[in-house]
Amino acid sequence: MRHRLYLLLLVLTLVWLPPASSMALEIASHPAVNKSRLSVTELRAIFSMRLTHWSDSTPITVFVLPSGHPLHKEFSKKVLKLFPHQLQTAWDRLVYSGTGKAPTVVKSEEEMQYLLTVTPGAIGYIDKSIKHENLNIIRRR
């Protein structure tokens, strides 16, 4: 009886806990961005605002959701391995020390999706469940 209980718990755990790598978001860019995969180093270079241009010289425009947005938290922690407060501190330091610029904060997921579609060189992230025919999806390497 006890073994069955353990087995049940094990099965439930496997069913309920998604694999560590799965996420509810996709990294997305303007359809003309010619990238299908980016490593964590590359994503950090882009979202820490260090890399400013794609290899074809198109300026990179980074869109993010507000710091407290669940999708932003997930992106920050799971993709960049940073806590949102660290990311915010790094961006503030860039702007106020004159070293660089902060990403553009969009108000909603809808605005993010729209701006990614119409801004050449743009990169951001969207909810996986959203239809995204007009966007380039970037996988992590």
Partner 1 sequence: MKISILLDGVSRSVFALLLLWQPLAYSVELAEELRFSGFVSQAAIHTSDNNYFGNSDDDVSLDYREVGAVLSVSVWENTHFSTLVLSRKAGHNSDGSLKVDHLLVNYNFLNSYDHTVGVRAGRLKSSYGWYNETRDVPFTRPGIFIAQSIYTDRVRNSYYFQDGIHLRGEHRFNLDTLSWHLGYHRPNVDEDEFVDVSPIPGIDETKSKDSWSAGLIYDYDAGKFRLGLFLEDKNFDEIFNDRIKFPQIGIPGTPFKANDLTIENLFRNFKLNNQRFVLSAEYNTERWSFVAELSRTFVDVDIDMNQDSSDVFLAFGSAEPFALDDPDLATSLPAEFANLTSLNFDQKVDSLAYYFQTIYRAGASWDILLRYDVFHFDEDKKNGKKLAEDFKFNFVLYPNHAYYAKDLTIGTGWYINPDWLVRFEWHYIDGTGWVTSADNPDRDDSSRYWNMIATQVSYRF
Q: How far apart are the first and last CA of the chain?
A: 45
Find tokens 């960049």 and name the residue: 80
Q: Which amino acid is at 81?
A: K
Rounded to the nearest whole angstrom, what is the least distance from the CB of residue 133 to partner 1 in the complex? 26
21-40: contacts with partner 1 (CB under 8 A): 39-40
Q: How far is the CB of 42 from partner 1 (least distance, A)?
A: 4
Tokens describing residue 91: 């961006």
Q: If we measure between CA atoms, which residue out of 138, 134, 129, 122 comes closest to residue 53? A: 122
Q: CA-to-CA distance for 103 and 90, rounded, in angstroms? A: 11
- Please give the residues from 37 up to 96 whose contact with partner 1 meets the rule CB under 8 A: 39-42, 44-45, 50-53, 57, 59, 66-68, 77, 80-83, 85-86, 89-90, 92-93, 95-96
Residues 109-138 that bind partner 1 (CB under 8 A): none
Binding-site ranges for partner 1 (CB under 8 A) = 39-42, 44-45, 50-53, 57, 59, 66-68, 77, 80-83, 85-86, 89-90, 92-93, 95-101
